[in-house]
Every structure is written in structure tokens, then in C-alpha cells.
Amino acid sequence: MVASLLFAIHSSLAALLMFVTVHQSEAIGWSKQPTKPTILVEGINNTDQSLVWEFFLESNETVQNVLLQRKKPGEKNPTTFASRLAGSSFTLLDGTYRKEYGTSLPNTLILRNVTNDEEFIYLIVVNYIKNNVAQPRKSDQVELIVYVPPKITKEPVKQSEVDVGQNLMLSCEADGDPTPKIIWTKDGVPFKQFNSSGSDLHLTNVQRGNVGSYRCTATNAYGSTTSIAVVNINCPSNHCQVQYVGITILSVEWDMAFANNRSVKQEIFKANLSSAISRLYSMPHNAEKQLFKLTVVTFRRRSSTCMAVVQLQFQKDVDDPLKPLRDDISDGYLRMFKVERQLDLNPIPTTSSRPTSSRAESKHIQRRGIVGEIILILLFQLFQLFLPEL
Ligand SMILES: *[C@@H]1O[C@H](CO)[C@@H](O)[C@H](O)[C@H]1NC(C)=O
Ligand SMILES: *[C@@H]1O[C@H](CO)[C@@H](O)[C@H](O)[C@H]1NC(C)=O
Ligand SMILES: *[C@@H]1O[C@H](CO)[C@@H](O)[C@H](O)[C@H]1NC(C)=O
Ligand SMILES: *[C@@H]1O[C@H](CO)[C@@H](O)[C@H](O)[C@H]1NC(C)=O
Ligand SMILES: *[C@@H]1O[C@H](CO)[C@@H](O)[C@H](O)[C@H]1NC(C)=O
Ligand SMILES: *[C@@H]1O[C@H](CO)[C@@H](O)[C@H](O)[C@H]1NC(C)=O
């Protein structure tokens, strides 16, 4: 009873003292503080960011020292990692801090490269003297939040070839902060039409209408990323006809997509084109000409255009299988692509990317290549034979 009374008195005294100290320390004031909270995004603005404080003093106040501290949210006691005396620059107290931070006068902390697992609350503490009397420390704090745009951590299988009637599951997982939302689309059609549960897409009893490009897109407030999976159907033996067709693309996106041969953009460009075609063939009015397989075999670049060589596989008895494509491009567009109105019906696929169906021919070419190499080696040896005498 007595103890709790004493405790109550003690607490109110403490509160009173705290009020007095807070009141006293109001002499020194901030003229600049970091944004609270400070938000950074990995890969966008998480490097070389500055937390800047400025304060002003009354004429009878002088700074003793300034400390920079940090603590994890929820932690009680911060750790001092840098300090300076009045008039001199900061010293970072440990080698590891020197890698993480830079400083500049008067009170700037430079965050070199912060990641999501280095979210701290940063504090600045100013110890100062007023009329030769040391004053309670003056401090300010800012919480640092680091968000992460989505990254796909498990990509769906890029190419699947399944038999009619089989089931297929495409799986796509992504990390990020906030946790990204994953949606699936097929040839631009939203996921709701599919049996997709979270990150997995279940295709049950696969039919020709399922042929196409499936995209898993992971999105949060700080970005979005896509992975593409192509689904084709194995043609029952002797049931299919193969058509090669050249589509000349006039829109200029291709140029950027090819700036780097192995770029993601090129993959997306390919998928966009596949989607445009497979979407066309999965429309109800083209049901009789549904595709078994669609492959963008290669691109042939000319100065201002680009020809896509596409292999299409249809059931053997499909009549005029290219009609949907011909009709669609008669206005000069294949969805978003500006194209030549005429299809090239005999584009000869280049050997390097020719699909396996024409193995005999590529073997033949390979053999020719080997013969060429042998001749070159012979010529080289002859040359070496005569060289000493020159
Ligand atoms: C970093 O970028 C994000 C997103 O664009 C923005 O909200 C934030 O304010 C930026 N942070 C700084 C310190 O510029
Ligand atoms: C400190 O200086 C200010 C003016 O700069 C003055 O108003 C104040 O009374 C001084 N404080 C003391 C404790 O002398
Ligand atoms: C930042 O750190 C991450 C890993 O901690 C690293 O992958 C990245 O390259 C660094 N960025 C810069 C600009 O130093
Ligand atoms: C969705 O896929 C799951 C897993 O394959 C399956 O159990 C379920 O029956 C499917 N639902 C529909 C409506 O197809
Ligand atoms: C891309 O590949 C083609 C051959 O496939 C080559 O001629 C071209 O120089 C390459 N371009 C770049 C930028 O690597
Ligand atoms: C692919 O299509 C999307 C729209 O569906 C578009 O935003 C993107 O720019 C296209 N990319 C290329 C390289 O064609």
C-alpha cells in the first residue's frame, strides 16, 4: 500500500521532471528535417540518399557534440554509429559503418545502398551548452522504409508441349514488399476465365483452344514484372500440317526489342506476337482452324522492317488455315503490330533456329559446313608448308 503510494508519487515527479526537461530543451530548433517516414524503393532510389538535418541556436547556446544513432523498429536502445564535436566532421565508429554510410557537414547522413532488411529508425542527438550549463540532449528521429518491387522467384516452365486431354499446372512465385499480387492472363485475356488459385494456373483437359502464351504478372505499388509461358499441343502423328509464314512488321517497337539479342524485351516481343496470333485462332469464329502449335521461329531484320518467321501447326484436314491471319491483317494491323498486308508464304527459316521437323535438311547443311571446314584446314596447312620459304 505504502509502496504503491510512493510509486505513484515517484511517477508523477518523473512526469513533472520530464515536462520540465522537454520544456527547457526547446531553445534549439530544427530548420530542416528528413521526410518522415523516408521511403526508398530498391532498384529505384535506394542508393546515395541523404538524411539532412539542420538546426539553429540562440546566441547563448553552443554545440558540444552531435551523434548519429540507429535502432530497429521496436528496439529500445539505439546504437551510436557516428559522432562529431562542434566544428569538426563526423567519425564513423566502425569499419562496417564506413561501408554503409557517408556523412557531410553540418548534419547529413548519406545512405549508400539500403535494402529491405536494413530498415532502421535513424536518430540525431545534439548535446549543447546554454550559458555554460550543459542542457538535456535535443534529438530527432526518422523511420526509414525500404520497399521492394516484385521479383519473380519461381518462373513457370517456359515451353510446354502436352497431349490433348492432359492437365498442366503452371507455377509462378514472386517476392517483394509489399507482397506482390500475381495474376495470370492468356493472350491478354484476364485470369478470371481460368482456374487460377494464387500463383498456380491449372489447365485441365487441355484442348487446342489452350494453345498460346500465358503471362504471370506480379505487381505491387512499386512495380510489376512478367514471366511468359508458352503452351503448345503435341500433334498426334500424321494428323498435322505445318505452315511457315512470314509476317513483316512495320511498327518500330521491334527495333528496341532487338537492341540486345538476348534481351527480355525480345522475349516479350516474341510473346506479344505469338499472343496476337494465338488469340486470333482461339476466337469462336475460327474454331475450326484451331492451332496445335505456334512457334515464332526467327526474326529477319531489314533496314526498317522486321520479318517474323512463324511456324503454325494445324490439323491435317483444316482448309485454308491461314485465312484468319490473312483476313486479320488486311487492315494493316495484327493487334498492336503494324504489318504489311501481304503474308510471305515461303519464308525459308534460317538453319540455326529451324525447328526439329526439318532435321534432314539441317544435317545436310551441317555436312556442307564440315566439308568447308576441312577445306579450310587443308588450305591452312598448305600455307604453313610454304611459309618458311617466303
Ligand atoms: C523514392 O521513390 C518512391 C517511389 O517513386 C517515392 O515514393 C519516394 O518518395 C522516393 N524517395 C525519395 C527519398 O526520393
Ligand atoms: C539567451 O539568449 C536569448 C536571446 O538570444 C535571450 O532571450 C535569453 O534570455 C537568453 N537566455 C538566458 C538564460 O540568458
Ligand atoms: C546494393 O546492394 C545490393 C546487395 O546488397 C547489390 O546487389 C547492389 O548491386 C548494390 N547496388 C549498388 C548501386 O551498389
Ligand atoms: C481447378 O484446378 C484444381 C487443381 O487441378 C482442380 O482440383 C479443380 O477441380 C479445378 N477447377 C475447375 C473449375 O476446373
Ligand atoms: C544479334 O544476332 C544477329 C545474328 O543472329 C547478329 O547479326 C547481330 O549482330 C546481333 N546483334 C547484337 C546487338 O548482338
Ligand atoms: C508487349 O505488349 C505489351 C502490352 O500487352 C506492351 O506494353 C509492350 O510494350 C509490348 N512489348 C513489346 C516489346 O512489344
Q: Is the CB of 45 under 6 A from ligand 1?
A: yes
Counting from 1 in the atom list of ligand 2, the atom nearest the Cα of 130 is 13
Q: Which residues contact 232 (CB under 8 A, 6 or more apart)?
A: 159, 160, 161, 162, 211, 292, 293, 294, 295
pLDDT value at residue 356? 43
Q: How far is the CA of 167 from the centre of ligand 4 (A)?
A: 10
Entry pTM = 0.71
- Listed as ranges, residues in the chain with pLDDT below 50 are 1-3, 5-9, 11-25, 353-372, 374-380, 382-383, 386-390
Cα separations in angstroms, 35 against 112, 149, 229: 18, 21, 42
pLDDT in tens, 318-354: 999 999 999 999 999 998 899 999 999 988 755 554 4
Out of 28, 60, 61, mutate this one to test ligand 2's pocket (max ligand atoms within 8 Å of CB): namely 60
Counting from 1 in the atom list of ligand 3, the atom nearest the Cα of 113 is 1
Residues recorded for the chain: 390
Phi and psi, residue 141, nearest 5°:
-145, 155
pLDDT value at residue 191? 61
Which three-class secondary structure state does DSSP give residue 41?
Answer: strand
> What CA–CA distance (Å, rounded) separates 114 from 105?
21
What the block records as the C-alpha cell of 78 is 539505439
Counting from 1 in the atom list of ligand 1, the atom nearest the Cα of 222 is 4
Q: How far is the CA of 205 from the centre of ligand 4 (A)?
A: 10
Q: How far is the CA of 168 from the centre of ligand 5 (A)?
A: 35
pLDDT value at residue 249? 94
Counting from 1 in the atom list of ligand 2, the atom nearest the Cα of 59 is 5
What the block records as the C-alpha cell of 130 is 546554454
